[in-house]
Structure 1
Amino acid sequence: MKNPPQLFGIPVDESIMALGMLQADQLASGIDASSLSTRRVAVLAGDGLDECQLNEVRRVLEANGAHVDVVSNRSGPLRGVSGGQVDVDHHWLDMPSVMFDAVYIPGGHGSVETLRQDPDALTFMQQAYEHGKSLAATGQAVALLEELGVALPDRVGEGTSPGIVTDHDAQALERVAEEFVAAIIKDRHWRRHEPAEAAMAPLMPSSSHQGSTGLGPI
């Protein structure tokens, strides 16, 4: 017997889940860019991050109204690969992924290795992905998402996994940021967990089902 789908570890009726995804898509289609002012984006990083990548992506996010927080495993400023410093807003144990609408992981060998070796950082990314949130990664951080089993687009603009934006060579940072903004505006990407044929099937919800897509800031 086929196991029922789960949402946050809880078995969910397929028709209710499908209805929720359809309603989320319909709501997202009516959201304009100004709504990004209510969104919080976590930058997950450690010492040795590429601050140039971070600065470019953050510039576009903040220009569109997003609130950007640097989240790390320490409270002091992070050292960048180009010699700069980046202030840390939160420790990831104090501000888990459920507090954010999206996550950006910049490159930088030292930073990526810090994340790779820390179970809490991996959980942060994995939960954001499983909760349908938008994720972006640049430089060495792209490989980190791949190691977590995230289906990556072949190149910027080809979102084979909805809500995922990457640039391995970090040569198109402004476009990455713009694609990331567009993904965040669409809100949650529940359909990334749905088989392609099911996503395309017409929805015929039963009148006996009642529910809401208002799952709160998780």
Structure 2
Amino acid sequence: MSQHNIAGKKVAFLLTDGVEQVELTSPWNAVKEAGGEPTLVAPKSGTVQGYDGTDKGQTFDVDLTAAEANAADFHALVIPGGVVNADHLRADKDAQAFTRAFFEQHKPVASICHGPWLLIEAGVLNGRSLTSYHTLQTDLKNAGANWSDQEVVVDQGLVTSRNPHDLPAFNDKLLEEIAEGEHAGQTA
């Protein structure tokens, strides 16, 4: 059981086909176990296909499309990784706008592995400290971020990690930031 109680807090999980399954299910379960209410948001309705590396995993039901979802209805945002997932999300204008709104509203955002690619397109990284899967470091630095190779990096409500091995630390910091609430320094 988590040391952080986030009872009643609504957490959006933004993803699409190609999501690295454990980077969805592990934080999702952590949020639920801490009393939070996760919601799956995707660019399209229906289901999304999860992957375990390059192998197909489970499918997950979409609760809201990114066009329908409103950041004002949530306390935090989680962006799981997966190369295909992240590449498709970063090209989606509704996903970009939904993500940017969390920063504009000073709400916690957590992103792991390839997920931070979307943060580049949302225009929210200039001057921010973060980590990601190592192959994204040049892209993130070019977007103005201060990238470092660490298990988890927290910067004013922005939580990032590198890969599935970092999930325990990622989940703990995600819950801590949600419990703390809005952060004045979390801004677009």
Q: Which band: TM-score by shorter chain? A: 0.7 to 0.9
Unaligned runs of 5+ in 1: 1-31, 194-218
Counterpart check, 1:134 vs 2:108: yes
Deviations 1:146-188 (A, max 9, x none): 45332133334542x2111111233210210110100011110
Is 1:68–2:38 an aligned residue pair? yes
CA distance in 2, matches of 1:143, 1:116: 6
Q: After superposition, where does 1:140-159 map in structure 2 within 5 Å? A: 140-147=114-121, 148-150=123-125, 151-153=128-130, 154=148, 155-159=150-154
Counterpart residue number, 2:91: 117
Is the contact between residue 96 and residue 118 of structure 2 (CA under 8 Å) also seen in structure 1? no
SS at match of 1:166: strand
- TM-score, structure 2 normalization: 0.78
* CA deviation map 1:112-171 (0-9, x unaligned): 122111111101111101211101111111233245332133334542x21111112332
Mapping for residues 15-34 of structure 1, pairs under 5 Å: 33-34=4-5
- Write the deviation string for residues 58-103 of structure 1: whole angstroms up to 9, x where unpaired: 1111110010000011221101123211111111222221211100
Paired residues of 1:62 and 1:68 also in contact (CA < 8 A): yes
Q: Which runs of 5+ in 2 are unaligned?
A: 131-147
**Quick check: 1:174 aligned with 2:151?**
no
Q: Which amino acid aligns with 2:21?
A: E
- Percent of aligned pairs with the same residue? 24
Q: Which has the larger radius of gyration?
A: 1
Residue-pair matches, total: 160
Q: Which has the higher strand share?
A: 2
- The amino acid of 2:19's aligned partner reads L
Q: Does 1:41 align with 2:15?
A: no
Return the alpha-carbon distance in structure 1 between the equivalents of residues 10 and 24 of structure 2: 15
Tell me, yes or no, if structure 1 residue 88 matches structure 2 residue 41.
Answer: no
Contact 2:107 2:186 in 1 (8 A): no
Alignment partners' CA distance in 1, 2:118 and 2:68: 22
More helix by share: 1
**Does the 8 Å CA contact 1:49/1:79 hold for their aligned counterparts?**
yes
**Per-residue Cα deviation, 1:9-65 (whole angstroms, up to 9, x for no partner):** xxxxxxxxxxxxxxxxxxxxxxx943x111000000111111111111111111100
